[in-house]
């Protein structure tokens, strides 16, 4: 059955994985209708997922899988040549802390199951009461690659995400800065009090590019993104979220094999970045009065069916 959605384009940040502040909301400049989803999409792991006529490659080159940045998650253990759990520079935004035991593999899925800590933890003066996790690629991605992930969000106030970011201290000179490419950042439940711009963030694909933490005055900072509005909730089913990092100045976003929008980052995206799959808490979507994690294990879990990365050769 073909469902329909509204696609809303934005010129400003919707929300960020890492930033402490949100920069506000700009109303959509246009709205169009597009078909979405079908369960047969992505069953062929030998080619990228594009609907007919949607492949943006117009060159003589062929999409080739980047194996070190791809995984079908059909094992019961995480492939440590490709992925690692947690980083030593970020343990999560309070009140959500990253825990390794939130991550599991079964039923051909990588799963991150959010849970309430049995006792609150105090780390560096911050109080943590909820657990999510962070999975990151061991290897870096580069401009020109196409990234896609078949994912089902959790039904919690915590996030379900698929994105890329560089490591600032790996750069030098003016390249000592942060670039972030958010392909999908959604939540499964809106808390009682949220800003107006976030009232629908449980029902869509929310993508952004961020440039920040610059070391040179001439480096531009800022955010530019796009949004796709669903007519159902993000947790109601799997979707294929994708982006083509076409060049340092152009990112193309795709949903379920269909082109949605092009975003031009505020600064050049030419630094190597790492893939991340993260469930976390946001300051704009606070813990609900009931604690926010009252659902079943399935409802508290973000499911990653597969991640595939491609480049033209």
Q: What is the pLDDT of residues 145-161, one digit of tens each?
A: 999 999 999 999 999 99
Give the model's pLDDT for residue 21. 35
Which amino acids are annotated catalytic? 180, 185
- Is the predicted pLDDT of residue 125 greater than 50, yes or no? yes
Q: Per-residue pLDDT for 14 more than 60? A: no
Question: In the prediction, which pLDDT does 39 show?
Answer: 77
**For residue 175, what are the CA distances in angstroms to 39, 167, 208, 220, 271?**
42, 10, 20, 12, 8
Query: Residue 38's pLDDT band (boundaries 50, 70, 90)?
Result: low
Q: Is the pLDDT of residue 12 over 90?
A: no
Among 64, 146, 65, 144, residue whose Cα is nearest residue 313: 64
Q: What is the mean pLDDT of the chain?
A: 90
Burial 221-230 (b: 16+ CB within 10 A, else e): eebbbbbbeb
The pLDDT of residue 56 is: 97
- What is the pLDDT averaged over residues 26-39? 45
- Range 246-271 burial, b when 16+ CB lie within 10 A, else e: beeeebbbbbbbbbbbebebbbbbeb
pLDDT at 34 over 50: no
Kindly list the structural domains of the chain, giving each domain's residue range(s) and its CATH number in brackets, ordered by start. Answer: 61-312 (2.60.120.200)
Output the pLDDT for position 219: 98
CA–chain centroid gap for 139, Å, is 17
Arithmetic mean of pLDDT, 243-271 = 97
**pLDDT tier for residue 37 given thresholds of 50, 70 and 90:** low
pLDDT of residue 293: 97
Half-sphere exposure of 280 (CA within 13 A, CB side): 23
Tell me what the mean pLDDT of segment 112-136 comes to. 98
Distance CA 212, CA 268 (A): 12
pTM (two decimals): 0.91
Q: Is the pLDDT of residue 195 over 60?
A: yes
pLDDT confidence band for 214 (50 / 70 / 90): very high
The predicted pLDDT at position 40 comes to 84
């Amino acid at each position: 059955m073909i469902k329909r959605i509204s696609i809303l384009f934005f010129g400003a940040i919707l929300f960020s994985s890492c930033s402490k502040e949100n920069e506000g909301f700009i109303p959509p400049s246009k709205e169009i209708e597009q078909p979405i989803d079908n369960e047969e999409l992505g069953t062929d792991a030998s080619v990228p997922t594009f609907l007919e006529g949607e492949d943006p490659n117009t060159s003589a080159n062929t999409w080739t899988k980047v194996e070190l940045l791809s995984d079908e998650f059909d094992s019961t253990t995480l492939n440590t040549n490709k992925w690692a759990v947690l980083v030593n520079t970020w343990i999560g935004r309070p009140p959500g802390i990253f825990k390794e035991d939130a991550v599991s593999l079964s039923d051909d899925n990588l799963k991150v199951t959010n849970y309430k800590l049995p006792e609150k933890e105090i780390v560096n003066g911050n109080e943590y009461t909820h657990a999510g996790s962070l999975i990151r690629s061991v290897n870096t991605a580069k401009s020109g690659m196409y990234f896609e992930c078949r994912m089902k969000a959790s039904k919690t106030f915590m996030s379900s995400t698929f994105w890329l970011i560089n490591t600032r201290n790996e750069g030098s000179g003016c390249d000592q800065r942060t670039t972030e490419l958010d392909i999908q950042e959604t939540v499964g439940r809106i808390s009682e009090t949220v800003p107006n711009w976030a009232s629908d963030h449980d029902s869509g694909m929310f993508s952004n590019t961020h440039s920040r933490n610059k070391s040179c005055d001439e480096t531009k900072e800022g955010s530019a993104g796009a949004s796709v509005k669903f007519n159902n909730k993000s947790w109601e089913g799997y979707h294929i979220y994708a982006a083509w990092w076409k060049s340092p100045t152009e990112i193309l976003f795709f949903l379920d094999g269909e082109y949605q929008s092009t975003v031009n980052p505020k600064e050049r995206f030419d630094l190597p970045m790492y893939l991340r799959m993260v469930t976390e808490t946001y300051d704009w979507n606070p813990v609900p009065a009931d604690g926010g994690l009252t659902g079943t294990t399935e409802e508290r879990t973000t499911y990653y069916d597969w991640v595939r990365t491609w480049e033209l050769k």
